[in-house]
């Protein structure tokens, strides 16, 4: 970034931050530059880059850099672009994105660097919440006819699972049609509450028996984290277990389809020979994190999209790879979209 930005530095938490241009319209290009564990030999085979982070999400941030470096000098009179290579995976950590919100002026527009495919925009991500279920009791013989801590945790999980299924049945598109008695088509996955059992363990040292479960929720729009947490705690208590909300919960965010920002990307995708697509993802990204932070201040969230080359199904997998042809197409789309915003 020092080669083409007017300034570039590493901030207090380790973010790589560059500033290009000095125009009135402020645009953030925010990507994360950490990687998950698991070594993949970095190599190029048949025009495809293999390596951890090629898709998630260094590929997107590198596309940001390459696109800005290709902008004409006159665009710098209209745009101030802040490139943020954020450290820390998105929620529940997101130390880099959270620090950017706290330390930098709020922009007019935001592009989040996440793989969408070169011809697609991501307009929304579901929220996330993690919860622990815990139970313990003094050790006793297995012949004693009382629920064990493990059974209490399993009972609590089953109760939470039933609550989630009931909540989805009450949503539009889910449940039964009262007039016909038929099961209606399920609601779109983006609009459904999802639950996963992420961990389950137990221990007995001869004095104390313990059981623990960690639950992961994917939250649809308008989900109240506090209300859901209270329900889970109550269900856990009814089963004889304790429920604890873990730090880092964030709500869903869905950006509007219309406006100058998505319009500029659609036009750029068409100019590159593609047919624009719009995506809503069941995962969580830094879009949720920064939206929640700004919403907590004054409800004023800048227009946002997420964009980047690559197939997000390859995120965190041993087969992570990125077509360099797609990468170059994404660079061209980003450059043209930014140039359109500057015009």
Cα-only R_g, the chain: 23
- Between 152-166, 186-200, 232-246, 320-334, the lowest mean confidence (pLDDT) is in 186-200
Q: Considering the domain 7-126+252-342, what is its CATH architecture?
A: 3-Layer(aba) Sandwich (3.40)
Rounded average pLDDT over 304-311:
97
Q: Is 137 among the residues known to form the active site?
A: no
- In this predicted model, which residue has the larger pLDDT, 160 or 222? 160
pLDDT, position 14: 95
253 contacts 223 by C-beta, under 8 angstroms: no
- Between 78-92, 149-163, 255-269, 327-341, the lowest mean confidence (pLDDT) is in 78-92
Residue 112's Cα: distance from chain center in Å? Answer: 10
C-alpha closest to that of 23 among 68, 59, 56: 68
The packing angle between helices 58-69 and 324-342, to 10°, is: 50
The domains of the chain are located at: 7-126+252-342, 128-245
Close Cβ partners of 339 (under 8 Å, ≥ 6 residues apart): 71, 72, 75
Q: Is 320 among the residues known to form the active site?
A: no
Rounded average pLDDT over 240-268:
95
pLDDT, position 144: 65
Rounded average pLDDT over 107-126:
97
Q: Are 7-126+252-342 and 128-245 equal in CATH topology?
A: no
Q: Cis link prior to 3 (omega < 30° from 0)?
A: no
- According to DSSP, the residues that pair with 135 across neighbouring strands are 211
pLDDT, position 284: 87
Rounded average pLDDT over 139-151:
79
Q: Which of 24, 45, 46, 89 is catalytic?
A: 89
pLDDT tier at 248 (50, 70, 90 boundaries)? confident
Global pTM value? 0.87
- Between 3-12, 102-111, 244-253, the lowest mean confidence (pLDDT) is in 244-253
Task: Name the fold adopted by 128-245.
Answer: Alpha-Beta Plaits (3.30.70)
3-class SS of residue 173:
coil
């Amino acid at each position: 970034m020092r080669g083409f930005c007017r300034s570039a530095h590493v901030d207090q938490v380790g973010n790589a931050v560059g500033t290009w241009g000095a125009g009135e319209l402020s645009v953030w290009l925010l990507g994360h530059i950490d990687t998950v564990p698991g070594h993949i030999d970095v190599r190029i085979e048949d025009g495809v880059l293999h390596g951890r982070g090629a898709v998630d999400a260094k590929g997107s941030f590198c596309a940001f850099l390459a696109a800005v470096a290709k902008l004409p000098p006159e665009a710098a009179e209209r745009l101030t672009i802040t490139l943020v290579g954020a450290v820390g995976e998105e929620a529940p950590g997101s130390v880099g994105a959270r620090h950017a919100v706290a330390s930098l002026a709020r922009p007019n527009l935001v592009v989040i660097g996440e793989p969408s495919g070169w011809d697609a925009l991501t307009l929304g991500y579901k929220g996330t919440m993690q919860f622990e279920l815990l139970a313990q009791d003094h050790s006793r013989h297995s012949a004693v006819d009382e629920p064990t801590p493990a059974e209490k945790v399993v009972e609590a999980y089953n109760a939470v699972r039933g609550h989630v299924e009931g909540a989805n049945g009450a949503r539009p598109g889910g449940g039964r049609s009262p007039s016909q008695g038929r099961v209606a088509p399920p609601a779109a996955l983006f609009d459904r509450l999802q639950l996963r059992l992420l961990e389950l363990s137990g221990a007995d040292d001869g004095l104390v028996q313990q059981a623990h479960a960690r639950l992961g929720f994917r939250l649809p729009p308008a989900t109240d984290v506090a209300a859901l947490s209270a329900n889970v705690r109550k269900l856990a208590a009814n089963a004889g277990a304790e429920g604890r909300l873990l730090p880092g919960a964030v709500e869903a965010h869905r950006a509007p389809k219309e406006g100058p920002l998505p319009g500029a990307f659609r036009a750029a995708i068409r100019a590159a020979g593609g047919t624009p697509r719009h995506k809503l993802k069941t995962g969580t990204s830094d879009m949720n994190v920064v939206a929640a932070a700004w919403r907590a201040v004054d409800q004023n969230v800048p227009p946002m999209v997420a964009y980047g080359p690559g197939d997000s199904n390859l995120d965190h997998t041993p087969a992570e790879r990125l077509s360099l042809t797609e990468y170059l197409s994404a660079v061209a789309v980003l450059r043209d979209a930014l140039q359109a915003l500057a015009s």
